[in-house]
Amino acid sequence: MTDSNSQEINVREKQLLDTGGIESTSGEPRFSPLVDIFETEEGLTVIADMPGVAVDGLSVDLKDNVLTIQGKVNVEDKGKRYLAKEYEVGDYYRQFSLSELIDQEKITAAIKDGVLSVKLPKQAPAQPRKITVSTE
């Protein structure tokens, strides 16, 4: 039974990153991580699924209003014989253009259990103030 107010959940498979013909030096495929982005009064939050990425294999950079997320997957397949393998392993790469409304000095990021959370706080609006007029 479906409720007219319920929303359909769309599940997507991870997408192989189109590198425009540029090959990865690691030999591993690169994926564009799936993300959820939501907005609150305080700012935006980007949640990226990056399974297999540890904090030491993660890079979150900001340059010229572009937020870049890169994750290196550390795979330990030595000595394993897979009976079934449905999950393809590879590194992650994704970029986002930021608006001028984001306070770039206060961006934070955290990763836990393969889920990256990047907080993008909004700039505080200009506060009304009284301007003192002096005589020259």
Q: What is the CATH number of the domain that holds 98?
A: 2.60.40.790
Q: How far apart are CA 128 and CA 114, in angstroms?
A: 43
- Average pLDDT over every residue of 17-29: 56
Domains of the chain: total:
1
pLDDT in tens, 41-78: 999 999 999 988 999 999 999 999 999 999 998 777 67
Q: What is the pTM of this model?
A: 0.71
Q: Does residue 106 carry a pLDDT above 90?
A: yes
Q: How far apart are CA 55 and CA 70, in angstroms?
A: 11
Residue at 3 is within a domain: no
Q: Which domain holds residue 117?
A: 15-121
Which DSSP state fits 115? E
Q: How far apart are CA 4 and CA 24, in angstroms?
A: 46
Q: Quick one: 48 exposed, middle or buried, by C-beta within 10 A (0-12, 13-18, 19+)?
A: buried
Residue at 8 is within a domain: no
